């Protein structure tokens, strides 16, 4: 059965991952799955049998690594500002923002396991971030949000269209919007400016290449 409480979800994560440093952000330590941890070997069918959603929180995806790298290298992007880490997964981007001096961070993801992963990973890095499992797309972005960070969000067409419309509205309302993307098929081709490009190590278990050319973009005004 899927763990029903935050404490049980934390225990599950600790039992099925190990603390390690993503190759592109070695300053950060995250509880992640790899070939020596149990969850790595679970198939989609096995996950469904135990009632576990796909564990996106258990991996440091290329888009998130690139965006976290950019924030760490360019702290002025978030320093002293109020930040949303949209579709936070492991929390790597929000944690990087706190390390870079953000005033506060709201990490949001509809998978409740992400809240447990964020709590454990933030603790491992000596920072704190708030968490919400509310679907932020159901309403305009909060007026207080000064920066919205989104890593690897363009892997499905309908969701990409919905997310980009929400982010575009937030940009028009005054928030800065940064997106990390490793060349996903549905990433928009206009209305953005490239800020940086990285070669991010990943794994063939997750991606089509062991190193993904991954860019960080900002939505144009």
Q: What is the pLDDT of residues 100-137, one digit of tens each?
A: 999 999 999 999 999 999 999 999 999 999 999 999 99
163: which residues sit within 8 A by CB, 6+ positions away?
A: 86, 87, 137, 150, 153, 154
Of 139, 148, 79, 136, the residue nearest 108 (C-alpha): 136
H-only helix segments in the chain:
6-16, 44-49, 62-73, 92-99, 112-124, 157-172
Phi, psi values for residue 27, rounded to 5°: -70, -20
Helix (H, G, I), strand (E, B) or coil at 136: helix
* Residue 72 · residue 99 · CB < 8 Å: yes
- Greater model confidence, 206 or 94: 94
d(CA 81, CA 177) in angstroms, rounded, equals 13
Contact 44, 28 (CB under 8 A): no
- Is pLDDT at 212 greater than 60 in this prediction? yes
CA–CA separation, 110 and 132 (whole Å): 8
Non-local (6+) Cβ contacts of 170 within 8 A are 140, 141, 145, 148, 177
Task: Calculate mean pLDDT across residues 135-144.
Answer: 97
Q: Worst-scoring range by mean pLDDT, 52-56, 115-119, 203-207, 209-213?
A: 203-207
Specify the pLDDT at position 2. Answer: 64
Per DSSP, 102 falls in state B
pTM exceeds 0.85: yes
Region 34-54 average pLDDT: 78
**Does pLDDT of 44 surpass 90?**
no
**Between residues 195 and 38, the one the model is more confident about:** 195
The encoded tokens of residue 44 equal 């989609």
Write down how long the chain is: 221
Helix (H, G, I), strand (E, B) or coil at 166: helix
pLDDT at 51: 74
Q: What is the pLDDT of residues 153-202, one digit of tens each?
A: 998 999 999 999 999 999 999 999 999 999 898 999 899 999 999 999 87
């Amino acid at each position: 059965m899927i763990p029903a409480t935050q404490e049980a979800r934390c225990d599950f994560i600790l039992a099925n991952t190990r603390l390690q440093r993503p190759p592109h952000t070695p300053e950060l330590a995250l509880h992640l799955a790899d070939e020596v941890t149990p969850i790595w070997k679970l198939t989609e069918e096995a996950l469904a049998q135990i009632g576990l959603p796909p564990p996106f929180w258990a991996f440091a995806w290329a888009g998130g690594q690139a965006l976290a790298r950019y924030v760490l290298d360019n702290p002025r992007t978030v320093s002293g500002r109020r930040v949303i880490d949209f579709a936070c997964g492991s929390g790597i981007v929000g944690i990087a923002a706190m390390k870079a001096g953000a005033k506060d961070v709201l990490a949001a993801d509809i998978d409740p396991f992400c809240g447990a992963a964020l709590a454990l990973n933030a603790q491992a890095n000596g920072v704190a971030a708030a968490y919400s499992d509310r679907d932020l797309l159901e309403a305009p972005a909060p007026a207080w949000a000064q920066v919205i960070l989104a890593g690897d969000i363009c892997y499905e067409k309908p969701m990409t269209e919905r997310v980009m419309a929400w982010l575009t509205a937030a940009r028009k309302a005054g928030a800065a919007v940064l997106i990390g993307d490793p060349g996903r098929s549905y990433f928009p081709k206009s209305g953005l400016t490239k800020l940086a490009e990285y070669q991010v190590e990943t794994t063939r278990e997750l991606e089509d290449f062991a190193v993904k050319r991954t860019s960080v973009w900002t939505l144009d005004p």
